[in-house]
Amino acid sequence: MSKAKHPAYHIYVNCRPFVRAFLFCVKQRKLASEKIPAYFAGRFDGDGSIAKDNQKDCRIVYTTHNEAIIDQTLMYQWNSEIQTSIYYYKSAHTHVLYIRKSSVKQFIDAIRQYSSKLTHELIAP
């Protein structure tokens, strides 16, 4: 194996109740409502994509169905006007959360300021 080219950091907290609470929040995706667009921007930057016309095929890919359901529920709680659907692709073993065409502009506008993918690509406001 080759040596790492960038340093890796590991945060250590010596407070078990704090770590337990943090891990619970991560597991349940419980975030403050003002942080939810930043969370979805991170998910979109990591595993999301959108068509070049900025109106169709806006999606985020997940490995498990449970993750996709949790995020779909979180998105509905955050903004019930954004319509989504989940599909399972058997050949790729992936679950995909699609943002419906009628909701793509609203979703993109909400996450644009937090997304590095949207600010560096051709997606114009």
Secondary structure (3-state) at 6: coil
User: In whole angstroms, what separates CA 53 from the centre of its chain?
Assistant: 21
d(CA 58, CA 22): 30
21, pLDDT greater than 60: yes
For the segment 39-47, the average pLDDT, to the nearest whole number, is 85
State residue 85's pLDDT score. 92
For the segment 7-28, the average pLDDT, to the nearest whole number, is 71
Task: Answer for the pair 111, 100: CB distance below 8 angstroms, yes or no.
Answer: no
The number of residues in the chain equals 125
Query: Count H helices, E strands: the chain?
Result: 5, 4
Give a yes or no: residue 110 inside a domain.
yes
State residue 122's pLDDT score. 44
Give a yes or no: residue 13 inside a domain.
no
Range of the domain at 101: 33-120
Give a yes or no: residue 76 inside a domain.
yes
State residue 53's pLDDT score. 73
26, pLDDT greater than 60: yes
State residue 70's pLDDT score. 87
pLDDT tens column, 44-97: 888 888 877 766 788 899 998 988 998 898 888 888 888 999 999 999 899 999
**Global pTM value:** 0.67
Sign of the C-alpha dihedral computed for residues 60, 64, 65 and 69 taken in this order: negative
9, pLDDT greater than 70: no
Task: Answer for the pair 85, 117: CB distance below 8 angstroms, yes or no.
Answer: no
Number of compact structural domains in the chain? 1
Give a yes or no: residue 104 inside a domain.
yes
Can you give the CATH number for the domain in which 77 is found? Answer: 3.10.28.10
Residue appearing with tokens 């016309």: 53
pLDDT tens column, 106-120: 888 888 888 887 776
